[in-house]
Structure 1
Amino acid sequence: MNWIDNFVRPKIRSFLGNKRDTPENLWVKDPESGEMVFYRDLEANQWVVPNSGYHMKIKPSDRLANFFDEGKYDLVPVPAVPVDPLKFRDQKRYTDRLKENRAKTGNDDSVIVATGKLYNRDTTVAVQDFDFIGGSLGMAAGQGIITGLETAANRKTPFVLFVASGGARMQEGIFSLMQMPRTTVAVLRLREAGLPFFVVFTDPTTGGVTASYAMLGDIHIAEPGARIGFAGARIIEQTIREKLPKGFQRSEYLYEHGMIDMVVHRHNLRATIGSLAGILTRSEAVDELARSAAATTGVSMRDVAVAAEGDDDDIAGKPPEAVHAE
């Protein structure tokens, strides 16, 4: 009998009591300023660092809860697709990689589709989860985008897509690339139904996603500081052998050069998209909703109207003012 293990140590533990260990994620470091932020404060602020305004990645469930009225929404099931059609293996089997990411995120793939109310208006939303294999576009993700677009068309609701992706999923090869034309056709069907399609770019949005449905929205909105592009900046520099401008591929730079319509703080996305949806759907509550959104976010109704119409005669050829409500 080992009296130290069986008697002494249990006695010491009983004297000390059952003290809980401090959680490892109690504090989060701001990647921009290096500031340490209390986890609960960051969570309460929609994962925006209070002092620097840096927009950190946010879970799809938190994104949906903050976007819909009273945080209530219903998930839309996405039809199953073939798993590992190419029997792909790199450092590990693709099927094992999928299992790991499903366990880590709690989602079947990188796209989650939900329906709910946005200012009492039925709205369909899809969110890409960058934590699931970099938000990459494979058959399941493509089917998720198509399901969201078809749900919006069938229910006659606006469609909002929060996009974040590293591009096509290499483990699915040509099947991944085929999602680009498939999702494009679904976007055209929504457009034929006369329903608005809002794209919200979050950090990062790159590759085949940028080259397909992410750039086909009626209105393109970006969170501050989001990286948006096709190839990475380093690859571009190596190819053209020139130094790129400061802030290249960031949302503010792309706004200044006409690639996106608005740059909107995460706290103001709900009100901004709600007012735009009211204008584009010609809702009876448009005026009241728009005034409320403008008062809340600092967005002028002139900017909202320009983003919605895009052809105001008295400002023809001029880009709308960016929305940087703090």
Structure 2
Amino acid sequence: MNWISNYVRPKINSLFSKRDTPDNLWTKCPECGTMLFHRELADNQNVCTNCDHHMHITPRERFSALFDGGIFVEVAVPEPIEDPLKFRDQKKYPDRMKSAQKNTGEKEAMLVAEGEISRTPVVCAAQDFSFMGGSMGMYVGNAFIAGVERAIALKRPFIMFSAAGGARMQEGILSLMQMPRTTVAIEMLKEAGLPYIVVLTHPTTGGVTASYAMLGDVQISEPNALICFAGPRVIEQTIREKLPEGFQRAEYLLDHGMLDRVTHRNKLKEELATILRMLGGLPPVVAGDLPPPSAEEAPKALEKPEGDAK
């Protein structure tokens, strides 16, 4: 046995050989170019630790950080008709849906859940921009209405996190019909005397902006979020003029009275808790006074009312 060839050389080669590194360990910030370690980025709620750029965050990740103890219960959503127009462009609509479901691990572009924020019971809905651009189709309309009905049944405030490229073209007029449907649902909330709070995230555009995203009792946005109906490039090409710096960004809209607050993602839970308790006539949140519920307390905290069929 040649121990140099069979043992020493392989050992040396293993020390100096290139080690494969998984591609998902590092994320490059699209704003400043800083390479961010995935755990550090996740701990900071997908906000760049160098320039504070707010990156995309999924509804589940958002709810895990928002609700006490990361505990929430999903609200069931009625299933719409599958591919009602038999639409096809480069792909069939059902094929696009299957691809989006595989890539995101989600059923559709909106997630609805109930839980507690600083011990304040709420119902929340959030759009997932990674699912076909968060586009508003019949399922999104059904999900919004299901969330509103659940909030009314439980007598809880309703919070909406918007992120969308607009209506879903594969559903045509049926997608556009979600605009009046969701507007009527908001009126139901108002008649029930329940707060409706909107948190606009990057980007919120098109028919979503023209409906439920701009009808909140309180309008909050994450920093530098693009909020518009038609994008700035389209407007510039139409009017043939240069638009103001930061046009249609959250800070610009705040200065011009279309938003109430622009809040950093890491401070959003505290901000929402303060607003919810103020609107509900509850005492203010005191630091350390409202710890997350334990596993034993969680089922009681989210207990459904008697006779509720949902």
- Fold similarity call, TM over 0.5: yes
Q: Which amino acid aligns with 2:255?
A: E
Q: CA deviation at 1:118?
A: 1.0
Q: Does 1:246 align with 2:245?
A: yes
Correspondence for 1:299: none
CA distance in 2, matches of 1:144, 1:106: 17
Question: Secondary structure of 1:220's partner?
Answer: strand
Q: State yes or no: 1:153 paired with 2:146.
A: no
Superposed, 1:28-177 pairs within 5 Å as 28-177=27-176
Task: Give the unaligned 5+ runs of structure 2.
Answer: 1-9, 289-310
Q: 1:126 to 1:20 in 2, by over 3 A?
A: farther
TM-score, normalized by length of structure 2? 0.86
**CA distance in 2: counterparts of 1:206 and 1:189, whole angstroms:** 24
Q: List gaps (5 residues or longer) in structure 1.
A: 1-11, 294-326
Tell me by how many angstroms 1:103 deviates: 1.2
User: Structure 1 residue 30: deviation in Å?
Assistant: 1.1
Deviation at 1:28, TM superposition (A): 1.1
Query: Percent identity among equivalent residues?
Result: 54
Render the CA deviation track for 1:256-310: whole Å, top value 9, x for unaligned.
0001100000011101111101111112xx23x1x549xxxxxxxxxxxxxxxxx
Rounded Cα–Cα distance in structure 1 between residues aligned with 2:56 and 2:265: 11
2:182 corresponds to: 183
CA RMSD of aligned residues (A): 2.0
Map of 1:9 onto structure 2: none
Give the superposition deviation at 1:16: 4.9
Deviation at 1:27, TM superposition (A): 1.5
Q: Relative to 1, partners in 2 of residues 1:151 and 1:245: Cα closer, same or farther, differing over 3 Å?
A: same
Looking at both structures, which has the greater relative contact order when contacts are Cα pairs under 8 Å and sequence separation is at least 6?
2
- The residue number in structure 1 matching 2:223 is 224
Equivalenced residue count is: 279
Give the whole-Å Cα distance in 2 for the aligned partners of 1:292 and 1:187.
Answer: 32
**Following the alignment from structure 1 to structure 2, what is the Cα–Cα distance between the partners of residues 103 and 27?**
22
Separation in 2, partners of 1:234, 1:41: 34
Paired letter, 1:105:
T
Q: Does 2:56 correspond to 1:26?
A: no
For 1:39 and 1:121, the matched residues in 2 are separated by: 31
* Separation of aligned partners in 2, 1:270 and 1:192: 26
- Paired residues for 1:269-280 under 5 Å: 269-280=268-279
Deviation at 1:146, TM superposition (A): 0.9
SS in 2 for 1:25: helix
Question: Counterpart of 2:296?
Answer: none
Q: Which whole-Å CA distance do the structure 2 matches of 1:281 and 1:271 have between them?
A: 15
Cα deviation for residue 86 of structure 1 reads: 0.2
**SS of match in other structure, 2:161:** strand
Q: Please report how far the alpha carbon of residue 21 of structure 1 lies from its aligned counterpart in structure 2 after TM superposition.
A: 3.1
After superposition, the C-alpha distances for 1:12-63 in whole angstroms (9 at most, x for unaligned) are 89x859x973111221111111111111111111100012010000111110
Structure 2 distance, partners of 1:81, 1:107, is 16
Q: State the distance in 1 between where 2:84 and 2:49 align.
A: 45
Which 4+ stretches in 1 moved above 6 angstroms? none
Post-superposition Cα deviations, 1:93-150, rounded to whole Å, max 9, x if no partner, equal: 0000001111111111100000011111211010100000000000001111111111
- Equivalent residue of 2:130, what SS? coil
Q: For 2:24, what is the secondary structure of its paired residue?
A: coil
